[in-house]
Amino acid sequence: MSLTLRTISREQHLAYMQSLPSASHMQVPAWADVKAEWRSENLGWFDKSGQLVGVGLVLYRQLPKIKRYLAYLPEGPVINWYAPNLDDWIQPMLAHLKQQGAFSVKMGPPVIIRRWEAASIKQGIQNPDVKRLRDIEADHIEPRAFEVADKLRRMGWQQGEDGGAGFGDVQPRYVYQVPLANRSLEEVHKNFNQLWRRNIKKAEKAGVEVVQGGYHDLEEWQRLYEITAVRDHFRPRPLSYFQRMWTALNSEDPNRMRLYFARHNGVNLSAATMLIVGGHVWYSYGASDNIGREFRPSNAMQWRMLRDAYALGATVYDLRGISDSLDETDHLFGLIQFKVGTGGQAAEYLGEWDFPLNKLLHKALDIYMSRR
């Protein structure tokens, strides 16, 4: 199968994405508008008959002072990763990106390699010898994913060093997902642990209501998000980022991004953003106040979002990144503990991969990034 690659229009890109069951929200054309500080390009792969068979959103970041770029395909490209001739997909992309002035390419194959069920993770947490997720035997392994990794290595790709934590500018390697396909809501609810079910009931009894917000509520979202940033010691994104995200994503598809608030007696206690691409629904950002935590607003909000995802016909509700550390003293341990309570599964992606088109500049970038 010989494939050709060329720049396509956003319309072509979007139409192709709409023909798929789902794909990453970072590969929809509008994501380029969210990441406005990067230059972007929409790539299309065509088969011999001229049919569009794959797409990729590339973001270009210029190196200081010279006209050379890092080319980044977050959670992409959207191609047939299990194709026996993976070379035929990847080589034309590298040639094209090199022509565009890229000195290095970073991509994140949307390929899941292992999954762990909640019960296995709970056992792991109780076992003092288990320090990381990968110390637990996986419940599901995708052998084809190992083949993809081998092929990439043979082509000269290098697996990114994300240390498994998967936070910061790289995309999370480990995520937590609640599968919804072929399951009833009762089953999903039954799979929650006792604490989650109790907290959902507690919130209901206390009169917590969960409502959807709009663009004009983003300032209130930002207030809660900045409180969270101080409490959890991270640098918050500015309000303008979320406004841009809302405008860009919802002008592409009016149901791409949603905003939820959990409130008690009219006071907003927690908030979250939700992203929707086909059958894949993500809980993307969360925030909560320091007050009113005894009413369990976050549990109530997640349960409502999960029900809404189910009503949309979603096949998976994705709680996004977790650390792979199961050490109770780790500052990210609370996150995995909260997410494991939903039942569901932890999933490990292949992670991000780099291809140095110019080894010298690639090395210079590595040094530059490590000093930041």
Q: How many domains does the chain have?
A: 2
Statement: residue 194 has pLDDT above 50: yes
Say whether both 76 and 216 belong to one domain.
no
Tokens representing 197 are 């079910």
The range of the structural domain enclosing residue 67 comes to 4-108+352-370
Are residues 291 and 344 both part of a single domain? yes
pLDDT of 157 above 90:
yes
Based on the fold, state whether residues 189 and 322 are members of the same structural domain.
Answer: yes
Cα separation of 113 and 175, whole Å?
A: 12
Mean pLDDT of 343-349: 97
Alpha helix stretches (DSSP H) within the chain: 10-18, 31-34, 86-99, 118-126, 143-155, 185-191, 194-206, 218-232, 239-252, 297-311, 333-340, 359-371
The pLDDT assigned to 258 comes to: 98
168 and 317 co-located in one domain: yes
Checking if the pLDDT of 113 tops 70, the result is yes
Q: 321 and 293, same structural domain?
A: yes
Domain CATH number, residue 235: 3.40.630.30
Q: For the chain, how are helix, strand and coil distributed in percent, rounded to 5?
A: 40, 25, 35
pLDDT at res. 371 = 67
Asked if residue 153 is part of any domain, the answer here is no
Q: Is residue 282 part of a domain?
A: yes
Tally DSSP H helices, then E strands, for the chain.
12, 16
| 41 class by beta-carbon count within 10 Å (0-12 exposed, 13-18 middle, 19+ buried) | middle
**Residue 202 maps to a domain:** yes
Q: What's the rounded Cα separation, in Å, for the pair 304 and 309?
A: 9
Residue 196, domain member (yes or no): yes
> pLDDT grade, residue 163 (50/70/90)?
very low
148 within domain boundaries: no
Q: Can you tell me the distance from the alpha carbon of 245 to that of 252, in angstroms, rounded to the nearest whole number?
A: 11
pLDDT tens-digit profile of 166-175? 334 578 999 9
Q: What is the pLDDT of residues 235-270, one digit of tens each?
A: 999 999 999 999 999 999 999 999 999 999 999 999
236 shares a domain with 260: yes
Q: Does the structure show a pLDDT above 60 at 162?
A: no
Same domain (yes/no): 118, 186: yes
Query: Percent of the chain, pLDDT > 70?
Result: 96
Q: Judge if 210 and 253 occupy the same domain.
A: yes
58 and 196 in a single domain? The answer is: no
Average pLDDT, the chain: 94
Same domain for 103 and 125, yes or no, is no
CB neighbours of residue 110 within 10 Å: 21
14 part of a folded domain: yes
Q: pLDDT for 25-37, tens place per residue?
A: 999 999 999 999 9
- Three-class SS state of 283: strand
**Same domain for 122 and 62:** no
Residues 345 and 358 placed together within one structural domain of the fold: no
